[in-house]
C-alpha cells in the first residue's frame, strides 16, 4: 500500500524538518507519489499529522513493551527495562527529540486534536510506569512515576543538543538512583 509509504515519509520529514516546515509538496515528492494519492488516504494535512503520531507511537510502544516482556521472562526489573528501552529508542530513533511535543509546540494553539493526542500519549507512559512500579512493590508509585518521567522526557529533550550517549548513560544512572532508594 502507498498509504504507509506516504506515512513513513511524512513521519521522517515532519520529524527532521518540522510540521509547518514540511509542505505537502515535499511529502509527495519524497514519497514519489501523486498529490491525489495523499489526499485519497488522508483528507487533510492535519489528518496526516495525526496519523503520523499514531504510527510513531506504535513503533515506540512496540519497542518498549518488548523490552518489558523480555525483562519479565528473565526475571529482571521491568521498570529498569522500560527506562533502558527508552534510552535505546533515543539512540536509534530519537535524534530530534519527541515528535509529540514537537507537534504540540506547533499545533497547540490551532488544532485541539493534536493537544489531546499528545497529552494522552504522555499520560499513557506515566500510567504504564506507575503500574510497573506498583507491581514491583515500590512505595509512592505515582510520585516516583512522575520523577522517572522527568528523566525520560529530559533525556529526550536533551538528545538533540547534547552528546546522545552521555545523556542516555546519565539517564540510566539517575533512574537507578531514584529506583534504589525506595525499593525493598
Partner DNA sequence: GGTAAAGTAGATAGATCGTTCTATCCATGA
Partner DNA sequence: TCATGGATAGAACGATCTATCTACTTTACC
Residues engaged in binding DNA (CB under 7 A): 1-3, 22-26, 32-37, 39-41, 43-46
Cell 529530559, residue located? 154
Residue 63 dihedral angles phi and psi, to the nearest 5°? -65, -40
106 binds its own copies per the rule CB under 8 A: yes
Indicate which single residue of 58, 69, 162, 165 sits in contact with its own copies (rule: CB under 8 A). 162
Indicate which single residue of 57, 126, 131, 164 sits in contact with its own copies (rule: CB under 8 A). 126
Distance separating alpha carbons of residues 65 and 128, to the nearest angstrom: 10
161 binds its own copies per the rule CB under 8 A: yes
Closest approach of DNA to the CB of residue 115, in Å: 18
Distance separating alpha carbons of residues 72 and 131, to the nearest angstrom: 14
Smaller CB separation from DNA, 33 or 71: 33
Q: How many degrees, rounded to 5, is the angle at CA 141 between CA 136 and CA 143?
A: 155
Smaller CB separation from its own copies, 36 or 181: 181
* Contact letters for its own copies, residues 2-41 (x by CB under 8 A): --------------xxx-xx--------------------
Q: From the list DNA, its own copies, none, which binds 162 (C-beta under 5 to 8 Å, kind-based)?
A: its own copies
Smaller CB separation from DNA, 65 or 111: 111
110 binds its own copies per the rule CB under 8 A: yes
C-alpha Rg value of the chain to the nearest Å: 18
Query: Which residues, 164 to 183, sit near its own copies by CB under 8 A?
Result: 166-167, 170-171, 173-174, 177-178, 181
Q: Which three cell numbers stand for residue 129?
A: 510506569
Distance separating alpha carbons of residues 157 and 153, to the nearest angstrom: 6
Stretch that binds its own copies, among 37-45, 55-63, 74-82, 92-100 (CB under 8 A): 92-100
143 binds its own copies per the rule CB under 8 A: yes
Long-range contacts of 76-81 (CB under 8 A, 24+ apart): 77/136, 77/179, 78/132, 78/135, 78/136, 79/129, 79/132, 79/133, 79/136, 79/138, 79/148, 79/179, 80/175, 80/176, 80/179
Amino acid at each position: 500500500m502507498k498509504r504507509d509509504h506516504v506515512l513513513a515519509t511524512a513521519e521522517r520529514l515532519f520529524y527532521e524538518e518540522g510540521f509547518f516546515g514540511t509542505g505537502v509538496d515535499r511529502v509527495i515528492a519524497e514519497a514519489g507519489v501523486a498529490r491525489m494519492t495523499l489526499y485519497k488516504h488522508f483528507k487533510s494535512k492535519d489528518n496526516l499529522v495525526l496519523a503520523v503520531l499514531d504510527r510513531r507511537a506504535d513503533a515506540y510502544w512496540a519497542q518498549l513493551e518488548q523490552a518489558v516482556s523480555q525483562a519479565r521472562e528473565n526475571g529482571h526489573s521491568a521498570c529498569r527495562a522500560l527506562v533502558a528501552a527508552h534510552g535505546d529508542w533515543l539512540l536509534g530513533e530519537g535524534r530530534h527529540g519527541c515528535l509529540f511535543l514537537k507537534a504540540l509546540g506547533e499545533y497547540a494553539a490551532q488544532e485541539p486534536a493534536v493537544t489531546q493526542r499528545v497529552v494522552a500519549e504522555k499520560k499513557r507512559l506515566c500510567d504504564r510506569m506507575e503500574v510497573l512500579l506498583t507491581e514491583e512493590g515500590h512505595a509512592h508509585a505515582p510520585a516516583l512515576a512522575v520523577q522517572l518521567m522527568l528523566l525520560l522526557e529530559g533525556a529526550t529533550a536533551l538528545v538533540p543538543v547534547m552528546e546522545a550517549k552521555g545523556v542516555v548513560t546519565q539517564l540510566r544512572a539517575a533512574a537507578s538512583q531514584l529506583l534504589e532508594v525506595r525499593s525493598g
